[in-house]
A and B are shown apart, each in its own frame.
Chain A
Amino acid sequence: MDDQTPMDDVILDVRDLSMHFPVRAGMFGKTHSAVRAVDNVSFQVRRGETFGIVGESGSGKTTLGRCIMRILGPTGGEIGYASEGAGMVDLAAVEDAQMRDLWREIRMIFQDPQSSLNPRLPVIELVGQVLRKAEGLKGAALADRVADLLKSVGLRPEILHRYPAAFSGGQRQRIGIARALATKPQLVIADEAVSALDVSIQAQTLNLLQDLQEEFGLTYVFIAHDLAVVEHICDRVAVMFLGEIVELADTETLFAAPRHPYTRALLSAVPVPDPRQRSDRRLRAAAPAEVTDTATACKFAARCPHARDLCRRQRPQKRTVGGAEVLCHFAGEI
């Protein structure tokens, strides 16, 4: 299906991206093995959409986001990005200086507004320092711009000179969002942007993100572990498991007819906020055996209720079944 997507519609084209962290041990830091945090991942993000990446801790979703931001330098593959000024560039290969310019177009919203805002700086600096750098704004001009940004995320401009400690988690995340939007970016990587927020704040923050997307024509890569949130906000979703994308599909397809056994396990584990729909506990899978990452087996085989001999012998290849890309030998059958 990706072949039919016109290239000028694609803002991010990730091909065979890998991020292997060497495991060093011993006195001289000899490399013994590598943690394959991201392993041969390919996907495309279309302009204006919200692309979800969902997975549990250790699935590599955060590492993937940090590779796209080039906070981490990936160990393999390409990250094609359709830059406003420079056309298609490979984020995995650009010089640091060019990346610094690209960071105006690609911005990031962090998970924990508590740790991503320097407690020693007032709001005007936190939101405005990127403008100071990128556009050389200062003084009253900077204050005006920051005040406008604060208004656009629903904060009162009087808070310019307050420190982060004066705000609640939701307000801090709005400050983080204002900071991300300061340079009028094209692409925003939101790494667990609402996970640290309270239920009542989560909804309004999701609404805010949607409003801003409409207003500024943003493209989101939305990284999260909460399936309900992902279903709500994303147009397409990739499910990650141990560094690989095991399933990628339109949100509706994925949630209505999950193909990969892992996606199913994930969906069935989510508690439903309705006491009449209590899941039958006995139907759930027992405690997982410890996951082994062997080069010759399907990574999910150890936990998979449908695993067969083939799954333990051979790595599955990506197949397209019913509009979904699935990494499973038996995607169509189960």
Chain B
Amino acid sequence: MTQPTPIPTEPAPLLRIAGLKTHFFTDDGVVKAVDGVDLTVEPGKTLCVLGESGCGKSIMARSILRIVDRPGRIVGGSITYRAADGRSVDLAAMSPTSAAIRQIRGSDIAMIFQEPMTSLGPIQKIGKQIVETILLHRRMSKAEAKETAIEMLNRVGIPRPRERFEAYPFELSGGMRQRAMIAMALCCQPRLLIADEPTTALDVTTQAQILDLIADLKEEFGMAVMLITHDLGVVAEVAEDVAVMYLGKVVEKGDVYSIFEEPKHPYTRALLESVPRLGVRHAGRLPAIEGMVPHPLVRPTGCPFRTRCRAFMPGICDVHQPELQRQGRTDVACFLHNPVPAHG
């Protein structure tokens, strides 16, 4: 396997995931939710992880913060995070309950979710929750923390922040709750924000506002963003880099223009063709991807996409697992582009 060696002058990535495997050991069998993911997040950039449900994108993100629920666990690979002081730590090797990972959660890497109530406790006032997070990670007096929290609520576009400081999460609308969660995630000025489908449950008009907000805050704080989504429109709107995942693997990654303009992997291509677009009336049928996402318990051998691939090559795709290799402007894992390994 040949790994492209990084050019020394390039700045080191903020986060490098290599060969990450997170498996779930269920009663029915082993679900290989994440099965060998390679990714890098560059400082100050937005990486969109694009994939359908069951492709492992959320589990991959949760693996970074070590918040994968049982019976899932990381069984291989590394997650190298480069801290502000320049030292690198392997998050995959840490204990999920260690003080070190807890310090990184929140203060270095923050996460927001599709459902704000997963991170906002229902019985505490929003202001108090943010203040507690600040006090946990930053050296501040209570009064300072309160001012910071109100400033943060203001910054995420919550009208009348001083009043809302005293509100309970259930008193806010969906969009406002999402903003409050972002405020809480950003109050410690993390260096990486992981946003797991942050707008999926929202209406389009609210979605647009939240995406704008994340983009503005990213510029303001100079943080990196890993945005997980299934929506090609969202990707096109905010991404700089894109990684396309399918069945626990990254099948293609590259910068957003290359992915949208010169997709190499048949899955990426089919995905781009099959989505209905405003103002583009297909006469009749959409060029759809045939077949179904395989059941998580019965993964195909070889290439994960082969059961739905129009370019399926018997004897190759069902035998060998393609690895990510640079082809032109993107990294792609497909035997249409990559050399087939020799037998034996």
Contact = CB atoms under 8 A, between A and B. Distances in A.
Whether A and B touch (Cβ < 8 Å) is answered with yes
B53 A56 contact: no
Nearest to B260: A275
A317 to B, nearest CB: 25
A207 B208 contact: no
Contact of A229 (B205, B256, B276, B289): B276
A232 B282 contact: yes
B277 interface: yes
B205 A266 contact: yes
Contacts of B209: 284, 287
Given A170-B293, A255-B279, A273-B233, A199 B286 contact: no
B90 to A, nearest CB: 33
Given A171-B292, A232-B286, A56 B203 contact: yes
B143 interface: no
A207 B285 contact: yes
A200 B212 contact: no
Given A168-B295, A225-B204, A273 B232 contact: yes
Contact of B290 (A167, A204, A276, A287): A204
Interface residues of A, number: 46
A134 interface: no
Contacts of A204: 274, 286, 288-290
A128 B274 CA distance: 32
Interface in B210-266: 211-212, 215-216, 230-237, 239, 256-257, 260
Given A199-B52, A232-B282, A278-B236, A271 B290 contact: no
B286 A207 contact: yes
Contact of A287 (B157, B233, B236): B157
Contacts of B232: 199, 273
Given A255-B278, A273-B260, A198 B212 contact: no
A57 interface: yes
B71 interface: no
Contact of B292 (A201, A252, A272, A285): A201
Contacts of B208: 269, 271, 279, 284
A231 B278 contact: yes
A269 B205 contact: yes
B302 interface: no
B287 interface: yes
Nearest to A155: B292
B284 interface: yes
Interface string B27-71: 000000000000000000000000011100000000000000000
Contacts of B212: 281, 284
B129 interface: no
Most buried by B among A227, A273, A284: A273
B341 interface: no
A267 to B, nearest CB: 7
Given A271-B211, A272-B278, A199 B230 contact: yes
A287 B159 contact: yes
A121 interface: no
Nearest to B179: A287
Interface of B: 52-54, 157, 159, 174, 203-205, 207-209, 211-212, 215-216, 230-237, 239, 256-257, 260, 270-272, 274-279, 281-282, 284-290, 292-295, 308
Interface of A: 56-57, 166-171, 198-204, 206-207, 210, 225-229, 231-232, 252, 255, 265-267, 269-279, 281, 284-285, 287-288
